[in-house]
Amino acid sequence: MKQTAYVLTIICIVAIIVISILVLNSVIDSEPVPVVDEEGNVVGLAYKSLFAKSWNQEETEEIENVVWE
């Protein structure tokens, strides 16, 4: 029983490390996108994430058009 517990613990630790590396890589490799308020002022930067479901190309183009017009 102890051996099984050790194996499961090691598997969980490895899984946590792999998931955290994937999340960090998705944030580090992505380019920042300016966050714009209603008046067109840049108020910060946002990084797209691996888990952002609403992210798509149209939103990127819309944000870029607001910032650079």
Q: Which residue has the higher pLDDT, 29 or 67?
A: 29
Which amino acid, residue 58? E
pLDDT value at position 42? 78
Those residues whose C-beta lies under 8 Å from the C-beta of residue 66, and which sit 6 or more positions away, are 36, 40
pTM score: 0.43
Q: Please say if the pLDDT value at position 32 is more than 50.
A: yes
